[in-house]
């Protein structure tokens, strides 16, 4: 059984970065919970443990001590960024990271950027820094910075469910690939991307899962001149043509 520790940054009295109507602590908790759900639902032999599953505050030392005590095989600390000019995605390892941490970072970063490809997200690269979560963890550890809350274009994307889904997919795929996890029988298997053309316009790729083609609702609607609204509370998408 592989143990994955997911650390949703900040929480409680520490909101993390905040701008454009967003708070970092809320976004990373959403990502953390869904990454856990999808990994345990779709893959064999994996247990996902969370630093926090609700809006609570934990010291950094509490987080790493719990992960080390649990004997986690890897740790992924999930954050959003701020103060980054043009925005984008980046990942971090410890400055003196092990080969295993470097490998985890490479796989995870690559898979996340692949999932974000349709959204023209800037790749800020794989970096190293003296960060507590990576330094004090006894297992391979990586910290991901999932777009910039205070960059208008990034913030607009973080408000879109399809971008949140892409971030989740990238993390899940990267973790599963690094650990060599096997898909459960009956779990959805994604084949090659499907080219989507609407009214003669090439839009971002769709996905083929178990013989069903899924296309991005927002991209299709916008190509047809319609607007898409999203109500996160009711999980309702609305399309208007005027």
Active-site residue list: 145
Q: What whole-number distance in Å separates Cα of residue 18 and Cα of residue 176?
A: 31
Distances (CA, A) of 115 to 168, 172, 185, 232: 9, 10, 23, 22
Q: Which residue has the tokens 């391979």?
A: 140
Q: What whole-number distance in Å separates Cα of residue 10 and Cα of residue 57?
A: 7
Cβ neighbour number for residue 25 with a 10 Å cutoff:
25
Angle between helices 161-179 and 24-42 (to 10 degrees): 50
Which residues neighbour 165 within 8 Å (Cβ) at sequence distance 6 or greater? none
- CA within 13 Å, CB half, 19: 16
Residue 236's DSSP bridge partners are: 231
Q: Quick one: DSSP state of residue 117?
A: G
Question: Three-state DSSP class for 46?
Answer: strand
């Amino acid at each position: 059984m592989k143990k994955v520790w997911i650390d949703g940054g900040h929480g409680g009295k520490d909101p993390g970065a905040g701008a454009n109507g967003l708070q970092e602590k809320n976004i990373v908790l959403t990502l953390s919970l869904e990454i856990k759900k999808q990994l345990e639902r779709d893959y064999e032999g994996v247990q996902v443990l969370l630093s926090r599953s609700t809006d609570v505050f934990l010291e950094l030392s509490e987080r790493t001590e719990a992960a080390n005590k649990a004997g986690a095989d890897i740790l992924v600390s999930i954050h959003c960024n701020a103060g980054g000019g043009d925005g984008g995605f980046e990942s971090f390892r410890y400055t003196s990271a092990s080969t295993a941490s470097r490998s985890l970072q490479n796989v995870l970063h690559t898979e996340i950027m692949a999932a974000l490809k349709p959204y023209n997200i800037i790749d800020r690269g794989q970096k190293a820094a003296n960060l507590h979560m990576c330094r004090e963890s006894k297992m391979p550890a990586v910290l991901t910075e999932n777009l910039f809350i205070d960059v208008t274009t990034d913030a607009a994307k973080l408000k879109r469910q399809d971008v949140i889904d892409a971030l989740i997919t990238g993390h899940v795929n990267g973790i599963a690939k690094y650990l060599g996890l096997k898909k459960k029988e009956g779990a959805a298997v994604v084949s090659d991307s499907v080219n989507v053309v609407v009214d003669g316009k090439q839009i971002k790729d769709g996905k083929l899962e178990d013989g069903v083609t899924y296309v991005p609702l927002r991209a299709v609607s916008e190509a047809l001149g319609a607007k898409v609204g999203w109500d996160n509370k009711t999980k309702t998408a609305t399309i208007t043509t005027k």
